[in-house]
Amino acid sequence: MNTFNQAASTWDNRPVHWERSQAIANLLKQHIALHPDMVALEFGAGTGILSFLLKDNLKKIILMDNTPEMLQVINEKIEETGVQNFATLLCDLEASPYNGESVDLIFTQMAMHHVKDIPLVLQRFYGMLHSKGYIVIADLYPEDGSFHAGGIPAFHNGIDTEQLCQQVQQAQFKNCQHEWCFTVKRLLDNGSVKEFPIFLLIAQK
């Protein structure tokens, strides 16, 4: 079975990962006025593609992931590029709370459908943020399970945005809004091409 550890070394070789991240970064910046005093955290950072696209707009980004090999790739990229405002953090937020500095922004892409207890993680997000801070969640709309067929397993076959908004509000966030952001096209085993749309959800503490 494929795992994120096994996928880490070749993750950046797939153009769709860059295209998706660029679309998310563009839409995020349309809705939130980023500034160089902001400290952000990327949850489920993977190889940090999205953080690299946002690094020049922020004071500092903490890249959190529970996969050591993904963070190793980030650290290698930091060394290669000389980025000064990144800090990596190995953490399973479902298993243990975050004890670091408070942040102004938490963003995550394609990670929440791998989270078993989404309400718990949302509650922890709330506690990690400064007052008026933002969460930005990009993930799959509900799908039939074929997105991960034969690949890395997920707890959820996409996420219903209305249900997620309810969970976000139950975690005490406000101003929940969401919209389409990007569409991934996948070649399935039967030779057909299937589209998997991705939403962007934003809420504020």
Tell me if 6 is assigned to some domain: no
User: pTM for the complete prediction?
Assistant: 0.91
pLDDT of residue 16: 72
Count structural domains, the chain. 1
CA separation (Å) from 105 to 136, 156, 198?
8, 24, 20
Per residue in 42-78, pLDDT (tens digit) is: 999 998 999 999 999 999 999 999 989 889 999 999 9
Is pLDDT at 1 greater than 80 in this prediction? Answer: no
Note down the domain range covering 181: 16-185
Tell me if 205 is assigned to some domain: no
Render 81-135 in DSSP notation, one character per residue: HT-SSEEEEE--TTTS---S--EEEEEEES-GGG-S-HHHHHHHHHHHEEEEEEE
Tell me if 11 is assigned to some domain: no
Per residue in 12-46, pLDDT (tens digit) is: 555 578 899 999 999 999 999 999 999 999 999 99
Tell me if 153 is assigned to some domain: yes
User: CATH no. for residue 30?
Assistant: 3.40.50.150
What is d(CA 48, CA 43) in angstroms, rounded to the nearest whole number?
10
Tell me if 191 is assigned to some domain: no
